[in-house]
Amino acid sequence: MKKNIVLFVLFVLPIVAYLFFASGVNGYTKLPTLTTNTADFGHWNTLDGKEITLNGKVTILGFSGTELLKNRGNFFNLNQKIYQTYHKFKDVQFVILCPIGTESDAKKVVDAFAMFTDVSQWRFVFASPEEIKAYYAQLKLVEKLDDKLGTSKVYIIDKNRNLRGRKLVKGTKEGYNTFHPAELSNEMLDDFKVILYEYRAAYKKNKNATRQI
């Protein structure tokens, strides 16, 4: 009996504890809304010529800035840590807002990814510097864009065009730094799962209600 208890403490208990903490705090809560009713994209040009809307989509939104190629490693991190697993979800899209004039750089990134990834949910949209600044401003983020109109962070926008993030002891976590793979693997992945679980749970609830009727 004592031997079994010792084995449980040494092997089973640590695994249970790991699974509990690895699930993350947000795994059991609803991800807070930081900014409501953010603007849609309208008729801005896209790399593939197809119009983009935020309505009805869970969107990972990024701002490339003019140095898109220089920062392509950030997109690679996002591609490997988040996109590869979730791009097959039809209601998920990865949208990068870029300055007009960086179309060829964006195509180089997409072509590089296409060698080992289905790039159908990578969407690049192009706007003028003034439009990018205005769009970023209406998100009401604390951090500002750099002088190249970019940021290494990406943001989660839900299907109702609400910016979602974490409430912290001091302030909020508005976005996730693509420069740090660990932050994508842990904090962002955890929060992204919460959003997907929200819609999955809502779908099941509505489906069950329909069956009862």
Query: What's the whole-model pTM score?
Result: 0.82
For residue 10, the model assigns a pLDDT of: 54
* Average pLDDT of the residues in 178-199: 94
Opening angle at CA 176, ends 170 and 179, nearest 5: 125
* Average pLDDT of the residues in 82-91: 92
Distance separating alpha carbons of residues 2 and 4, to the nearest angstrom: 5
* Structural domains of the chain in order of their starting residue, each with its CATH number: 32-212 (3.40.30.10)
Higher pLDDT, 30 or 28: 30
- What's the Rg (C-alpha) of the chain? 20
Give the count of alpha carbons within 13 A of 41, CB side only: 24
